[in-house]
Amino acid sequence: MQHFSPEELKDKVSTPMFQLIGQVADELGMECYVIGGYVRDLLMNRPSKDIDVVVKGSGIAIAEAVKARIGHGAHLSVFRNFGTAQLKWKGQEVEFVGARRESYTHDSRKPIVEDGTLEDDQNRRDFTINALAICLNHDRLGELVDPFGGVMDIEDGIIATPLDPDITFSDDPLRMMRCVRFATTLHFQIEEETFEALGRNRERLKIVSAERIIVELNKIMMSDQPSRGFVELQRSGLLELILPEVAALDVVETKNGRSHKNNFYHTLEVLDNVARLSDNLYLRWAALLHDIGKPLCKRWEPLVGWTFHNHNYLGAKLIPPLFRRLKLPLDERMKYVKKLVDLHMRPIAIADDIVTDSAVRRLLFEAGNDIDDLMTLCEADITSRNETKKRNFLNNFKLVRIKLKDIEEKDRIRNFQPPVDGEEIMHLFGLTPCREVGVLKTELKDGILDGKIPNEHDPALAFVIQRAKELFQLEVKETPAS
Ligand code: ATP
Ligand code: MG
């Protein structure tokens, strides 16, 4: 971490915004501090968006006075119920609040709030590194108030609660998720007592809404190395409550001296691999969930060893209920994850064999526009320690990619629409909707995907006419439009 002298800190909070706030606070005779995440990020030289200001007195009163001083350039929103006010000025957002003391009841994350001192306000914060405050009043401008050794914890890379972690976590169990999230995004270690309290209080997570949990989980997902978070969630027992499907992958069974790999750690490797290649949140979700079907179909087959037949299909079936439970979106993003989980073995199966045009065409047809993401997932999925094996796979993958490109250019399969559709078939033979039409459509699709006929109207029409005659003795009634 960067070391700042008191003078440098004073400089850091000498922006026009902070100067104005300090001046207004002095005039109102209020103690005034910038506090929390903003101070942490400032000391760590990280970019920070929102500024939290806490005063001894009314947060709304000072916000209104600051707004009056700026005039038209600023926008103020007041939340009387919460005793807070938010000021937007020059692209910055400042939240004003009076210093408060909080106490909790057992069944709710919502505290009973009373006016308090700065110390009370720091006591209610979640972590030592989030409890730092810098004074904005003129006489003490830049003075750091750090009652819990937050600066030291930033230097040492430690997440610890300011008070007894059992109380901090039990009061507001969302803090357990935030704990793992900060450890992940900042690459910090969770202090031992704090970590143990995660396990002891894990059941308290039940009073936290799925919406709040998923926000933290997605932040873990979007970090540069999400595995860090999932390892901590698993070690603390939280993962079992949130994502039992993933927690269940953490087993190794041995039979006749043969073990299968630990699919939890394999999954995390795949997730980190994908995270290195893509910022697409849902591609990362697909990576996390790609093997969740495995525990459902694991078998020991005497002549083969451990098998996981159909795990991709079974895994895909688990996606909709899982998304619903976690309050993840149920729209095309869910379908995308489901599809990737379902298809994640296909490129490997193709690469394992002679890469035929027809296999590639079928893959392209099923994956459509998600083909590139599917290939990314599949390459990330090759975590073998055997370098020769790995190289062979990756080389075959290159071949698959080249073929994909060739075939896409030649046949335009990606957004495949058969060149002769059901309407035309019915018209041609004077049919109403019936089984024969369906059969002919499938025949045509397979013919094109297998490369028997080109993906063009006239050859497709000739093929349909021929198959109709062979299969159903149907003759053309109408002259086909060409
Ligand atoms: P980021 O904005 O990067 O997510 P942050 O630390 O700024 O991190 P916010 O949610 O913006 O997090 O909250 C601002 C500050 O409010 C925190 O730094 C912390 O001091 C306090 N805080 C937020 N949520 C909690 C909570 N659940 N329990 C205790 N303190 C909290
Ligand atoms: Mg913040």
pLDDT tens, residue by residue, 118-130? 999 999 999 999 9
| Distance (Å) from CA 28 to ligand 2 centroid | 26
Query: 426 is written with which tokens?
Result: 């019915």
Q: Give the closest ligand to the alpha carbon of residue 39.
A: 1
Residue 44, Cβ density class (10 Å: 0-12 exposed, 13-18 middle, ≥19 buried): middle
Hey, whose CA ends up nearest to atom 25 of ligand 1?
A: 126
Q: Best mutation site among 178, 182, 217 for ligand 1, i.e. most ligand atoms within 8 A of its Cβ?
A: 178
Average pLDDT over every residue of 331-353:
90
Least confident of 104-108, 156-160, 244-248, 318-322: 104-108
Q: Residue 209's closest CA among 125, 104, 110? A: 110
Residue of higher predicted confidence among 409 and 60: 60
* pLDDT greater than 70 at residue 6: yes
- Assess contact for 151 and 161: CB atoms under 8 A: no
Identify the pLDDT of residue 182: 98
Q: Is the pLDDT of residue 460 over 70?
A: yes
pLDDT above 90 for 53: yes
Q: What's the pLDDT score for residue 248?
A: 97
Residues with CB under 5 A from ligand 2 (ion): 37, 50
d(CA 478, CA 226): 61
Whether residue 105 is predicted with pLDDT greater than 80 in this model: the reply is yes
pLDDT at 74: 92
Could you count the other beta carbons within 10 Å of the beta carbon of residue 24? 23
Highest mean pLDDT among 102-111, 336-345, 420-429: 336-345
Q: How many helices (H) and strands (E) does the chain have?
A: 25, 15
Q: Does the pLDDT value for residue 141 go beyond 90?
A: yes
Residues with CB under 6 A from ligand 1: 36-37, 50, 52, 125-126, 130, 172, 174-175
Q: Which atom of ligand 1 is nearest to the CA of 174?
A: 27
Q: For the chain, give the percent of residues with pLDDT over 70.
A: 98
Mean pLDDT of 393-417: 82
CA distance 322 to 287: 15
How large is the average pLDDT for residues 25-31? 97
What per-residue confidence (pLDDT) applies to 359?
84
CA–CA distance, 284 with 288 (Å, rounded to integer): 6
pLDDT above 80 (res 479): no
How large is the average pLDDT for residues 298-321?
94
Q: Dihedral, CA atoms, 236, 237, 239, 243, nearest 10 degrees?
A: 180
CB atoms within 10 A of CB 65: 19
More confident residue, 244 or 102: 244
Which residue, by CA, sits nearest to atom 30 of ligand 1?
Answer: 125
Ligand 1: residue whose CA is nearest its atom 24: 126
Quote the ligand 1 centre to 130 CA distance (angstroms): 7
Distance 268 CA to ligand 1 centre (A): 27
| Banded model confidence at residue 49, pLDDT cuts 50, 70, 90 | confident
Q: How far is the CA of 137 from the centre of ligand 1 (A)?
A: 23
pTM (predicted TM-score): 0.90
CA of 52 to the centre of ligand 2 (A): 8
Q: Which residue owns the Cα nearest ligand 1 atom 7?
A: 37
Alpha-helical segments (H) within 368-386: 371-380
Backbone angles phi, psi at 415, to 5 degrees: -115, 55
Q: Of 133, 144, 145, which Cα lies nearest the Cα of 37?
A: 133
Residue nearest to atom 12 of ligand 1 (CA): 37
pLDDT bucket at 363, cuts 50 / 70 / 90: confident
Determine the Cα–Cα distance for residues 56 and 30; give it in Å rounded to an integer: 6
Which residue's CA is the closest to the ligand 1 atom numbered 1?
37
Q: How far is CA 435 from CA 10, 409, 470, in A?
A: 80, 33, 15
* Close Cβ partners of 362 (under 8 Å, ≥ 6 residues apart): 449
Q: Give the separation between CA 64 and CA 70, rounded to whole angstroms.
A: 10
Where residue 450 falls (left for φ over 0; alpha for ψ -120 to 50; beta otherwise) is alpha
**175 alpha carbon, closest ligand:** 1
In the predicted model, what is the mean pLDDT of residues 425-430? 92
Q: Report the pLDDT value the prediction gives residue 2, as an integer from 0 to 100.
A: 60
Which has more confidence, 41 or 418? 41
The amino acid sitting at 1 is M
The angle subtended at Cα 203 by Cα 108 and Cα 120, nearest 5°, is 45
Most confidently modeled of 101-105, 267-271, 377-381? 267-271
Residue nearest ligand 1's atom 13 by CA: 37
In the predicted model, what is the mean pLDDT of residues 136-141?
96
How does pLDDT run across 172-208, given as a tens digit for each residue? 999 999 999 999 999 999 999 999 999 999 999 999 9
480 has a pLDDT exceeding 70: no
| Mean pLDDT value of segment 61-71 | 95
Is the pLDDT at 355 greater than 80? The verdict is no
Which pairs count as long-range contacts for 63-69, CB under 8 Å and 24+ apart, including other chains? 63/87, 63/94, 63/96, 65/24, 65/27, 65/28, 66/20, 66/21, 66/24, 66/96, 69/20, 69/24
Q: Indicate the top mutation candidate among 38, 94, 126 to test ligand 1's pocket, ranked by most ligand atoms within 8 A of CB.
A: 126
Mean pLDDT of 368-377: 93
Ligand nearest to the CA of 162: 1
Query: Quick one: pLDDT band at residue 213, thresholds 50, 70, 90?
Result: very high
State the Cα–Cα distance between residues 317 and 336, nearest whole angstrom: 13
Instruction: Kindly report the average pLDDT of the chain as a whole number.
Output: 93
pLDDT for 416 beyond 80: no
